[in-house]
Structure 1
Amino acid sequence: MIYDPASSNPLAGNPLANRADMRHALTDLFDPLLPYFSEGNARVRIDGAGAHFDRAAADLEGFARPLWGLAPLGAGGGDFRHWARYAEGLANGVDPKHPEYWGTVNGRDQRMVELAALGFALALVPEKIWEPLDQRARDNLITYLKHARTFDYADNNWKFFRIFVDIALDRLGASFDRSLTERYLNELDGFYIADGWYRDGDVRRIDHYIPFAMHFYGLIYSKLVNDDRSERYRERAMLFARDFRHWFASDGATIPFGRSLTYRFACAGFWSALAFADVEALPWGEIKGLCLRHLRWWADKPIAHRDGTLPIGFAYPNLLMSENYNSAGSPYWAFKAFLPLALPETHPFWMAEEKSLENEPAIIPQRHPGMVLMRSKADVAALSSGQENQQMRFGAEKYSKFAYSARYGFSVESDERIFAGAAFDSMLAFSDDGLHYRVRETNEEAKLAGDTLYAKWLPYPDVTVETWLVPAAPWHIRLHRITTPRPLQTAEGGFAIARRDLEADTLVSIADAAYVIGEEDFSGILDLGSTIKRQGIAQKAPPNTNLIASKTLVPQLRGTIPAGETTLVSAVLAEKDTSTVDHAWTKPPARPDIDALRALVQNKGITVSAIEAPGRLP
Structure 2
Amino acid sequence: MNERAPYTGLDRADWLATADRLLAALRPWASADHATITPPGEPGGYGTRVDGLEGFARSFMGAAFRIAGTDDATSAELAEWYAEGIAAGVDPRNPGRWVRPGEHDQAKVEAAALALGLHLTRSRIWDRLDERTRGRLVDYLAELVGARIPPINWVWFRIVAQTFLRSVGGPWSEADLDHDLAVHESFVRADGWFADGPERSFDHYAGWALHFYPVIWLEMARGDERAEELREHYLARLDAFLPQAAALVGADGGPLIQGRSLTYRFAAAAPFWAGAIAGSTALTPGELRRAASGVLHHFLAHGVPDEHGLLPLGWHGAWRPIAQRYSGPGSPYWAFKGMAGLALPADHPVWTAAEEPLPVERGDIATAMPAPGWLVAGTRSDGIVRVVNHGTDHGQEGVLVTDSPLYARLGYSTATSPVLSAPGWEEPLDAAASLLDPQGRASHRAGFRTLALGTTGDACHGFSIGPAHWVVPTPGQPDHGSGRSGEVTVGPDVLVGSIVRGPWEVRLVRVEEGFAGALRVTGWPVAPGGVTSLVVDLGGLPESGVFTLPDATPLSATTRIPWRASAGAVQEGRWYVAGVLLAAAGRTAEPPVVDVVGDHVAVTWADGAKSQVDLPEVRHGS
What is the TM-score when the length of structure 1 is the normalising length?
A: 0.85
Query: Does 2:579 match 1:575?
Result: no
**Kept in 2: contact 1:493–1:555 (CA 8 A):** yes
User: Letter of the aligned partner of 1:491 in structure 2?
Assistant: R
* 8 A contact 2:269–2:296 mirrored in 1: yes
Report what 2:502 is aligned to: 473
* Deviation for aligned residue 1:36: 0.8
Query: For residue 22 of structure 2, what is the aligned residue in structure 1?
Result: 29
Other-structure match for 1:210: 206
CA contact (8 A) 1:303 1:311 kept: no
Q: Does 1:130 align with 2:126?
A: yes
Contact 1:402 1:427 in 2 (8 A): yes
Shift of 1:269: 0.6
Q: Cα deviation per residue 1:103-146 (whole Å; 9 max; x = unaligned)?
A: 33337701101110001011110233323422222211111111
After superposition, the Cα gap between the structure-2 partners of 1:522 and 1:48, relative to the gap in structure 1 and judged at 3 Å, is closer
Give the total of aligned pairs. 561
Listed one character per residue, the Cα deviations across residues 5-42 of structure 1 (whole Å, up to 9, x for unaligned) are xxxxxxxxx96521111100111122211111112211
- CA shift for structure 1 position 252: 1.6
- Partner residue, 2:95: 99
**Does residue 287 of structure 2 align to residue 279 of structure 1?**
no
**What is the identity, as a one-letter code, of the residue corresponding to 2:433?**
L
Contact 1:524 1:573 in 2 (8 A): yes
Query: 2:243·2:283 contact (CA, 8 Å) conserved in 1?
Result: yes
Match of 1:497 among 498, 523, 526: 526
1:527 pairs with one of 520, 537, 547: 537
Q: Structure 1's 133 and 594: CA in aligned 2 closer, same or farther, altered over 3 A?
A: farther
CA RMSD in angstroms comes to: 2.7
Distance 1:336 1:234 in 2: 19
2:390/2:464 contact within 8 Å kept: yes
Residue 68 of structure 1 is matched in structure 2 by: 61
Alignment-derived partner of residue 6 in structure 1: none
Query: CA–CA distance in 2 between the matches of 1:290 and 1:184?
Result: 30
Structure 1 residues 195 and 436, CA, compared in 2 at 3 Å: closer, same or farther?
closer
The CA deviation at 1:385 is 0.9
Correspondences of 1:144-223 after superposition (within 5 Å)? 144-223=140-219
- Shift of residue 486 of structure 1? 4.7
Q: Is the 8 A contact 1:304 1:317 kept in 2?
A: no
Q: Read off the aligned partner of 2:265 and give its amino acid letter.
A: R
Q: Is the 8 A contact 1:370 1:386 kept in 2?
A: yes
Q: Return the alpha-carbon distance in structure 2 between the equivalents of residues 436 and 49 of structure 1.
A: 33
- The alpha-carbon distance between structure 1 residues 141 and 228, as it changes in their structure 2 partners (threshold 3 A), is same
Cα distance, 1:98–1:394 mapped onto 2, change above 3 Å: farther
Q: CA separation in 2, counterparts of 1:51 and 1:292? A: 30
CA offsets 1:217-271 (integer angstroms, 9 cap, x no match): 1111222222221232122111111222211122222222211111111111100
8 Å Cα contact 2:403-2:444 kept in structure 1: no
Cα distance in 2 for partners of 1:245, 1:121 equals 27
Aligned partner (choices 416, 422, 428) of residue 414 of structure 1: 422
The residue number in structure 2 matching 1:289 is 290
Name the amino acid aligned to 1:249: G
Task: Provide the rounded CA distance (Å) in 2 between the counterparts of 1:175 and 1:522.
Answer: 58
CA distance in 2, matches of 1:16, 1:118: 32
Structure 1 residue 64: Cα displacement: 0.7
Tell me how far apart the structure 1 counterparts of residues 262 and 521 of structure 2 sit (CA, whole Å). 25
2:473 is aligned with 1:464: no
The offset of 1:444, in angstroms, is 3.4
Q: Percent identity?
A: 28
90-99 or 167-176: which moved more?
167-176
Out of 81, 88, 93, the position equivalent to 1:85 is: 81
Matches within 5 A, 1:261-272: 261-272=262-273
**Residue 389 of structure 2 is aligned to residue 384 of structure 1:** yes
Residues 418, 436 of structure 1: 8 Å contact kept: no
CA distance in 2, matches of 1:336, 1:171: 22
Retained in 1: the 8 A contact 2:306–2:317? Answer: no
| 8 A Cα contact 1:440 1:457, kept in partner | yes
Moved more, 60-69 or 556-565: 556-565
Separation (CA, whole Å) in 2 of partners of 1:490 and 1:316: 36
Output the CA distance in 2 between the equivalents of 1:484 and 1:599. Answer: 23
- Which residue matches 1:3? none
Higher relative contact order (CA 8 A, sep 6+): 1
Q: 1:374 aligns with which of 374, 377, 385?
A: 377
Structure 1: 4+ residue segments shifted above 6 A: 416-419
Q: Tell me if the contact between 1:424 and 1:491 (Cα under 8 Å) persists in the aligned partners.
A: no
Structure 1 position 372, deviation (Å): 1.0
CA contact under 8 A between 1:479 and 1:568: conserved in structure 2? yes
**Matched AA of 2:175:** S
In structure 1, stretches of 5+ residues that fail to align are: 1-13, 500-517, 605-618
2:593 to 586, 589, 592: 589
Asked if the contact 1:494–1:524 (Cα under 8 Å) also holds between the matched residues in 2, the reply is yes
For 1:590, give the aligned amino acid.
V
The residue number in structure 2 matching 1:600 is 614
Letter in 2 for 1:600: D
Question: Would you say the 8 A contact 2:165–2:171 is kept in 1?
Answer: yes
**1:426 matches 2:436:** no
Tell me: CA distance 1:589–1:296, structure 2 relative to 1, closer, same or farther (3 Å). Answer: farther
Superposed, which structure 2 residues align to 1:244-259 within 5 Å?
244-259=245-260
The residue aligned with 2:563 is: 556
Between the aligned partners of 1:158 and 1:113, the Cα distance in structure 2 is: 7
- In the other structure, the counterpart of 1:536 is 544
CA 1:332–1:432: 2 relative to 1, 3 Å: same
Distance 1:281 1:109 in 2: 36
CA distance in 2, matches of 1:527, 1:473: 18
Distance 2:493 2:204 in 1: 30
Once the 2 structures are TM-superposed, how far is the Cα of residue 537 of structure 1 from its aligned partner?
1.2
Which amino acid counterpart does residue 497 of structure 1 have in structure 2? V
Task: Output aligned runs, 1:396-415, within 5 Å.
Answer: 396-415=404-423
Query: How far does residue 405 in structure 1 lie from its aligned partner after superposition?
Result: 1.1
Counterpart position of 1:454: 463
Cα distance 1:562–1:238, how it changes in 2: closer, same or farther (>3 A)? same
How far the C-alpha of 1:395 sits from its partner, in A, is 5.5
Does the CA contact (< 8 Å) of 2:519 and 2:570 recur in 1? no
- For the Cα contact (< 8 Å) 2:190–2:370, is it kept in 1? no
8 Å CA contact 1:455, 1:468 repeated in 2: yes
User: Greater CA deviation, 168-177 or 19-28?
Assistant: 168-177
Does the Cα contact within 8 Å between 2:511 and 2:570 map onto a contact in 1? no
2:52 counterpart letter in structure 1: D
Q: How big is each residue's C-alpha offset from its partner over 1:391-428, in whole Å with a ceiling of 9 and x where there is no partner? A: 9x985211111111112232224337998xxx822113
SS state at 1:386 partner = coil
Q: Do residues 310 (structure 1) and 311 (structure 2) align?
A: yes
- Segments of 5+ residues of structure 2 without an aligned counterpart are 1-6, 223-227, 470-489, 602-611
Q: Name the CA shift for 1:243/1:319 in 2 (closer, same or farther; >3 Å).
A: same
Structure 1 residue matching 2:143: 3-state secondary structure? helix
**Aligned pair in 2 of structure 1 residues 486, 538: CA closer, same or farther (>3 Å)?**
closer
TM-fit CA distance, 1:472: 3.6
Greater CA deviation, 150-159 or 244-253? 244-253
Q: Distance in 1 between matches of 2:598 and 2:220?
A: 54
Going from structure 1 to structure 2, the CA distance change for 1:592 and 1:486 (only over 3 Å counts) comes to closer
**Is 1:362 aligned to residue 365 of structure 2?**
yes
